[in-house]
Structure 1
Amino acid sequence: MKLRKILSILLVAVMLAGVFGGCSRNIPTEQEVNETGGQSVNGSENQTDAKGTQAPEVQGGGEIIPEEGAKLNFWTLSGYLEYGKAVAELFEEKYGVTVEVQENGLDSVNKMMLDGPSGNGADIFMAAHDSFATAKDAGILAEFSETASAVVKDKINETAVKTVTSEGKIYGIPVSIETYALLYNKALVTGEPASTFEQIREEALAYNNAGENKFWYLTVPTDGYPAFPFLSLYGFQLFGADGSEGDNPGFDTPEFLKGLETIASLKEIIPIKADDLKMETMSLLEQNFKDGKTAYYPIGPWLIKSLKEENIDFGVTVLPTLDGKPMRSFSAVQNAYVSAYTKYPNAAELFATFLTSDDAAALLYSKSYKITANKDIIKVEGLKDDEQLRVFCEEFTKSVPMPSTKRISYYWTIAQSVLSAVFDGTLTPEEGAQKAQKDFDALVASE
């Protein structure tokens, strides 16, 4: 799927060492996670939250015990149904708990807000991480026990953990990750791929032929998602350092202005009108890459499977540097949450924790061709040997999680008009920055 656009329509170590590194904390081992779903919460007595939901029951030795007769309902996102059914079957084999699975698209948070209180919602449901703040504020998420929280911190990539954390408390399981990496066409790029954007720019000026649709480098600089690596290059932080400052989009900063200047400079090597460079036309850019007319194309992992099926000779490398600075793409995490209204909190948390197991991560890859949020992918069958997807894992460690503030929709709207104008030269970067802030203030005032 086209990551950002779909999200916005419907709602809207370090490096390889960090990806492959093991864990050294004195919390559940891999075997314990796979077999028990975690250790104990404080004490063994049941605890009850404001909605009357009991915290998971534990016995001596730290094993979470599912309620007798528990039956669970698991809502997956689009493209995850086969994975959901497979992991549910494996969970039932291990724990004897039946899990009904259904695909619910990207509107699961809205559905849970309606169906959860009436008892018709899921016990565990998946949702894109940028809806986390909305879901938490609506009270539909169960706070994880210390047991499950420890498992999340131990098993999951630190960047992903931030997307389910609020005020030090954890509310979900990061399941899969998506971010940008740089695809290159081996028919055009001989030898090692470029590591700097300066090299790409120089090669583009020598190669480009608009009349023949030949462009050395293509992206969509008119949209806030693919443009972000350029906007953030000099330190621009959208909605603050952790993306939660809804009153602070950062449009009035010198870092944002510098980013807009970089967007304007892309016109030299992408001599295409802004109207022809939109998320709706990305399929044309992808086809140009498949046809061997584009050398470099930054995109997410969702395109990789079709490239392999069509026998395109391509490679994947990390995003290049520009002016000596690394590009950092937006990233998205698809999370699984336990409903605050579940009748079976023990079984639901056990199932959620089971999603961090290596077996579940392997099913995520084999059934849905998705990348696990687990930090130690060297243990994940299939994924550990996938050279292309492993690059996306590396890029994720330095990516910026898409802000989860409710005002993120304002960014997408503002970015589309401002970036298009700056890219086409109808607005200067200075005028673009001023317009962005003015438009944001107007949207806030209209609330």
Structure 2
Amino acid sequence: MKLSKSMSMFAAVTVVAMSVTACSSGSKPAETTKPAETAAAGDATAATAASPAAGGTAELKPEAGAKLKIWDSKDERAFTDEMIKEFTAKYNVPVELEELAPPNVVTRLQTDGPTGLAADVMIFPHDHVGRAVAGELLLPNDVFGDVTKKENTESAIQGISYENVLFGYPRAAETYALYYNKDLVKEAPKSFDDVIAFSKTFNKDGKYGIMWETGNFYFNYPFIASSGGYLFGKNGTDKNDIGINNDGAVASMKVYASLKQVLPVKSADITADIKRGKFTGGEVAMDINGPWELAGYKKALGDKLGVADIPTIAGKPAVSFSGIKAWYVSSFTKYPNAAKLFARFASTKDAQLKLNKLVGSVPTNKDAQNDPQIKNDPYVSGFVGQFNHSVPMPSIPEMNNVWAPAGAALTEVWDNGKDPKTVLDNAVTQIKDLNNGAKK
């Protein structure tokens, strides 16, 4: 999924959709959907097994007559279609897939859940978890919680939990790294000073040494965090402690501003589609992007494609956002057992390796990460180094208030040459104002 694109789409392209506030406490799930009540009803095919903590061998059983609807993006449909086929063959539960862009899922669940039109299981960026939990839209990952925590990385579990309660079933990790064309760039640059030097020799007739979405806060977090800036304090949980305008952030943003000299293109004119076409066509030598582009880039460039850490910023390793793509179970589902079974089934080691094979994703499952399929892949393993310098995107509801002010600040610096400190101060004020008025 394009996290990204879910995870970028956590961004400028979806700012309007993501500016919707969390649903009110009036939109609550139907009481009949609660799993405890389903079991209490005495359904002969309901859960009868214990929690699968010991290796996940004991399982729930789907409810009689269960059928599921899944929300997932079109970008990874080949994987989801395969999971549906295998799940139905094993559990005899029909599953319908409806394509929906992950950044729009929580808003749709908020409106469609009470009417019975929502999906039972869905994918959305982990930074929306807080808003979904505040709206009482999700069931916890309880039955499979222990085995999920045992099998997956700590950062993955942190990303899909809220207030120490696990809600997600992780299937892939995401951050972004530096793609480069080896025919054009013999060796990946170590610093953005190197990027500028190379670009001055390469730029000509619409060709650029590097291109990335300069107005998208998701991709530009390294220009905040690498020298000591941060979004929210206390590991992303303190909405009142905002550090995108501290001295470290301003120092990194000065590097960001300096790059306009080798990429003299307005932010609005750098879209994912434009950038993709230029990179695969040899008009751009380097691209900062995520693993969702890997399959297409490999097809276009073959052995010419390289993946490396994002260049250092002001002498510091580039600190990117990381995100977790995960399945979640709707609190409105009529079939919580079947829904939890599907979420577990489609997030195991084998499922994550299959997803990697189909789209080049990065597993969160620790055994999958150590599988030769991953360790011997020069592209996927190329993202590992950058993951070591990433931080999980905050998942508190106030994350929704960040995108528009932060994106506007980037545009003011990039397009209009405004002072980074001034525009970042203004962005912090706007975010705090939104936070103070946000519904919980």
TM-score (norm 1): 0.79
Q: Deviations over 1:177-234 (max 9, x none)?
A: 32211111111222x42333333333334x144x523432333333312221121111
CA apart distance, 1:330: 1.7
Task: Give SS of 1:356's match.
Answer: coil
Structure 2 vs 1, CA of residues 290 and 299 (structure 1 numbering), >3 Å: closer, same or farther?
A: same
Aligned counterpart, 1:158: 154
Q: Residues 33-432 of structure 1: matches in 2 within 5 Å?
A: 52=37, 54=39, 56-59=47-50, 63-67=58-62, 69=64, 71-78=66-73, 79-106=75-102, 107-145=104-142, 147-190=143-186, 192-205=187-200, 207-209=201-203, 211-270=204-263, 272-273=264-265, 276-278=266-268, 280-311=270-301, 313-378=304-369, 383=374, 385-424=376-415, 426-432=417-423
**Structure-1 residue corresponding to 2:10:** 7
Give distance in 1, aligned partners of 2:432 and 2:396: 16
Question: What CA distance in whole angstroms lies between the structure 1 residues aligned with 2:194 and 2:270?
Answer: 29
CA 1:94/1:74 → structure 2, altered by over 3 Å: closer, same or farther? Answer: same
Q: Distance in 1 between matches of 2:371 and 2:64?
A: 32
Q: Secondary structure at the match of 2:136?
A: coil
1:123 maps to a residue whose letter is D
Distance 1:175 1:239 in 2: 26
Q: Give the drift of 1:136.
A: 0.8
CA distance in 2, matches of 1:50, 1:350: 13
More displaced 10-residue stretch of structure 1: 59-68 or 214-223: 59-68
8 Å CA contact 1:176, 1:334 repeated in 2: yes
Whole-Å separation in 1 of the counterparts to 2:97 and 2:375: 27
378-387 or 245-254: which moved more? 378-387
- Looking at structure 1, the residues matched to 81 and 414 of structure 2 have their Cα atoms a distance apart, in angstroms, of 45
C-alpha distance in 2 between matches for 1:356 and 1:281: 31
Do the aligned partners of residues 342 and 178 (structure 1) sit closer, same or farther apart at CA in structure 2, a change above 3 Å counting?
A: same
1:114-159 CA distance string (max 9 Å, x none): 44345443332222212211211111211222x5111211222322
How many residue pairs were aligned? 405
TM-superposition CA deviations, 1:64-88 (whole Å, max 9, x none): 2314525241413112333222112
Q: CA deviation at 1:238?
A: 0.7
Tell whether the 8 Å contact from 1:72 to 1:123 is kept in structure 2 after alignment: no
Whole-angstrom CA distance in 2 between matches of 1:181 and 1:131? 23
**Separation in 2 of the partners of 1:53 and 1:113?**
22
> CA 1:374–1:136 in structure 2 vs 1: closer, same or farther (change >3 Å)?
same
1:435 positional shift: 2.3
CA distance in 2, matches of 1:332, 1:371: 11
Partner deviation per Cα, 1:156-178 (whole Å, 9 max, x = no partner):
23222112212222111122232
Structure 2 distance, partners of 1:51, 1:119, is 19
TM-score calculated relative to the size of structure 2: 0.80
SS of 2:172's equivalent in the other structure is: strand
Distance 1:353 1:279, change over 3 A: farther
Does the CA-based 8 Å contact 1:244-1:403 persist in structure 2? yes
User: Could you tell me how far 1:287 is from its partner in structure 2?
Assistant: 3.3
* Rounded Cα–Cα distance in structure 2 between residues aligned with 1:436 and 1:83: 39
Distance 2:7 2:149 in 1: 26
| Residue type of the alignment partner of 1:304 | L
Q: Is the 8 A contact 1:320 1:326 kept in 2?
A: yes
In structure 1, the gaps of 5 or more residues are: 13-47
Give 1:32's aligned residue: none
What amino acid does structure 2 have at the position aligned with 1:224?
A: F
2:8–2:219 Cα contact (<8 Å) kept: no
Q: Identity of aligned pairs, percent? A: 28
For 2:351, the aligned partner's letter is A
Distance in 1 (alpha carbons) for counterparts of 2:50 and 2:408: 57
Question: For residues 157 and 441 of structure 1, do their structure 2 counterparts lie closer, same or farther at Cα, with a shift above 3 Å needed?
Answer: closer
Question: Relative to structure 1, is the Cα distance of residues 347 and 381 closer, same or farther in structure 2, using a 3 angstrom cutoff?
Answer: farther
* Mean CA deviation greater in 360-369 or 173-182: 360-369
